[in-house]
Amino acid sequence: MEQETLNYHRIAKLVAGVDEVGRGPLAGPVVTAAVILDEQNPIDGLTDSKKLSEHQREEFAKEIKQKAIAWSLGRAEVHEIDDINILQATLLAMQRAVAGLTPKPDYVLVDGNRCPKFYCPAEAIIKGDLHVSVISAASIIAKVARDQEMQQLDSQYPGYGLHSHKGYPTKQHIAALEELGVTPIHRRSYGPVKKLL
């Protein structure tokens, strides 16, 4: 599949892959990454970040940052998610990630079934994080960045278990919300949080 995609875009010299992490959690930002890989300096074994261990993701993230032509992070904050909804916030974060790339790509491949508007042509690829290495690279960079941020937030908001569940709606997280209350990093538009307000 990857070969087909890249052959189809032979006209594009610089292809960026884009992916997000953090649409499902009750807390924290949604984080996106955009990556342009260097075909002359390949990285073996890239795949969907969810199929890798935490250690493997961190090692890959270092290698991607060293070898990529460019990489950039984008994000949308909790208040933006609550204001414009998670889908629109994710698309906005993707635009921010691509805007941060230097040099600029002339084609963008996005994981999923829809693309935001970019200044260049783009294409959404379902399960792209599994099949297209430049999207896999973006999924890894985004996941590592968000996980590290949630670990830092855990020390600011102890008792919620953010270091382990990363803000996702686990039983532990819901129980902590019921006991300790809603914090500024919780998404008020999400059902389990809204119910407690």
- Residue 182 in domain: no
Cα gap 164→174, rounded to integer Å:
13
**Which ranges of the chain does DSSP label H, i.e. alpha helix?**
2-8, 54-67, 78-84, 86-99, 128-131, 133-156, 162-165, 171-180, 191-196
Domain count, the chain: 1
pLDDT score of 3: 45
Residue 140 forms part of a structural domain = yes
Find the mean pLDDT for residues 17-44.
97
Residue 67 sits in a domain whose CATH number is 3.30.420.10
Domain that residue 144 falls in: 2-155
pLDDT tens by residue, 82-116: 999 999 999 999 999 999 999 999 999 999 999 99
Question: How far is it, in rounded angstroms, from Cα 11 to Cα 24?
Answer: 36
Whether the per-residue pLDDT at 152 is higher than 90: the answer is yes
Residues with Cβ < 8 Å from 49, sequence gap 6 or more? 19, 21, 57, 129, 136, 139, 140, 142, 143, 144
Provide mean pLDDT across the span 141-149.
98
Residue 31 in domain: yes
Asked if the structure places residue 170 within a domain, the reply is no
Check whether 5 has a pLDDT greater than 60. Answer: no
| Model confidence pLDDT, tens digit, residues 122-131 | 999 999 999 9
| pLDDT one-digit tens code per residue, 12-24 | 789 999 999 999 9
Note whether residue 123 is domain-resident. Answer: yes
- Looking at the whole model, is its pTM more than 0.85? yes
Round to whole Å and give the CA distance between 153 and 17. 28
Q: From the CB of residue 4, how many other CB atoms can be counted at a distance below 10 Å?
A: 10
